[in-house]
Amino acid sequence: MARTTLVAANWKMNGQREANEALLLALRAADLDSLSCDVLICPPALYMAQVSQLLADTGITLGAQNVYSQPQGAFTGEISARMLKDFACSHVLVGHSERRELFGETDAVVCAKFTAIQAEGLIPILCVGETEAERDAGQTEAVITRQLKAIMATLGADSLQRAVIAYEPVWAIGTGNSASPAQAQAVHAFIRALVAQEDPHIAAALQILYGGSVKAVSAGELFACEDIDGALVGGASLNADEFIAICRAA
Ligand code: PGA
């Protein structure tokens, strides 16, 4: 089954107007639209308007890093999926390990956000992944199963028809120590098989991205793996040359 490759940039809490502009102008000039992959930029919410303006007519789409589970109301400091839709966001990250670890987001919170994203017709990018201690203890598959079942048991496997999964081993994020293509492929195949137990057609069409220290030098080998359908890129997405090279490797 042919799946489109998606390269998504997660800027995290980085950027300022001037630096963003330089980065985005470089992406514009690189004509990423002519590539076979889809490219998505997830800036801090505050810069969404700037990014959408600078990327107008490029084919590069806009995503968000986080969302609250309610559509509107007295939730000081929060941003809803409805607001993200208002800015033409197509995708929203949910369950990123930094949200889980630093902001205490449980599987139940992740599921509520996932639901809110889909309720507005946006596509959740559900991040899953094990810590180093969990991998060392042979718990990788159990952790991934728990994180995925938290969605599938509540919303059904059908909900993955309009979703993307990002496998992001926590030990690989921001460490410079990417999973090897074989390590990543093994977990991606496991994720696809887990979904296939519920629905083989949805599993075959499901985009599964790899994230964790993706760099231009390693991207080609990762993208060549059968079950790797793109990348969620953090640090390297802040460097125009690196990010463009990753997109070109797709
Ligand atoms: P990294 O981050 O590429 O800097 O490791 C990836 C992510 O956290 O999405």
Write the DSSP string, 54-122: HTTTSS-EEEES--BSSSSSS-TT--BHHHHHHTTEEEEEES-HHHHHHS---HHHHHHHHHHHHHTT-
Kindly report the pTM of this predicted structure.
0.97
Per-residue pLDDT tens for 181-237?
999 999 999 999 999 999 999 999 999 999 999 999 999 999 999 999 999 999 999
Which tokens sit at 30? 């690189």
Per-residue pLDDT tens for 97-113?
999 999 999 999 999 99
Q: How far is the CA of 93 from the centre of ligand 1 (A)?
A: 12
CA angle 121, 206, 137 (to 5 degrees): 115
The answer to whether 68 and 75 have CB atoms below 8 angstroms apart is yes
Ligand 1, atom 7, lies closest to the CA of 234
Ligand 1, atom 9, lies closest to the CA of 234
Q: How far apart are CA 79 and CA 10, in angstroms?
A: 17
Indicate which residue of 98, 130, 168, 242 is catalytic: 168
Q: Is 214 in the pocket of ligand 1 (CB under 6 A)?
A: yes
Please state whether 32 falls in left (phi above 0), alpha (psi between -120 and 50) or beta: alpha
Q: Is 94 in the pocket of ligand 1 (CB under 6 A)?
A: no
